[in-house]
């Protein structure tokens, strides 16, 4: 049980050290856009996609100005949810199915 708490503390520490949350980004906003991620993004509901675009544009603007958000606007570890993960898992599952089918 103590090891689990230690791992969780490390995750929170690393999350804050990475710095993307200080620009208002969530973890899934920082994923490398390979073909699977691009397809998952196409499947996002419009409001989630628009929220992502807003966060990325704001982060780019802040980065160009060499600024970060005020601390009360940082994305907190506990509030960051993997909004893209269910769509990405589905895309990867479908790709694996296609690859298996094509091997036959």
Q: CATH number, domain at 30?
A: 1.10.1090.10
- pLDDT tens string 12-36: 999 999 999 999 999 999 999 999 9
- 20 Cβ contact list (under 8 Å, min separation 6): 26, 27, 29, 30, 59, 75
Which of 26, 4, 29 is closest to 15 using CA atoms? Answer: 26
Which of 29, 9, 21, 12 is closest to 72 using CA atoms? Answer: 21
Number of domain units in the chain: 1
Beta carbons within 10 angstroms of residue 45's beta carbon: 10
Q: What is the block-wise mean pLDDT of the chain (104 residues), using blocks of 10 residues?
A: 85 94 98 97 98 98 98 96 97 96 89
Size of the chain, expressed as the number of residues it contains: 104
The confidence score (pLDDT) of residue 4 equals 84
Domain range enclosing 76: 2-103
């Amino acid at each position: 049980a103590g090891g689990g708490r230690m791992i969780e503390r490390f995750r929170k520490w690393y999350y804050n050290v990475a710095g993307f949350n200080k620009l208002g980004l969530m973890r899934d906003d920082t994923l490398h856009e390979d073909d699977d991620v691009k397809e998952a993004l196409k499947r996002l509901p419009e409001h989630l996609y628009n929220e992502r675009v807003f966060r990325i544009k704001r982060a780019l603007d802040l980065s160009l100005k060499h600024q970060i958000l005020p601390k009360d606007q940082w994305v907190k570890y506990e509030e960051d949810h993997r909004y893209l993960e269910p769509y990405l898992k589905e895309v990867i599952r479908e790709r694996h199915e296609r690859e298996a089918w094509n091997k036959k």
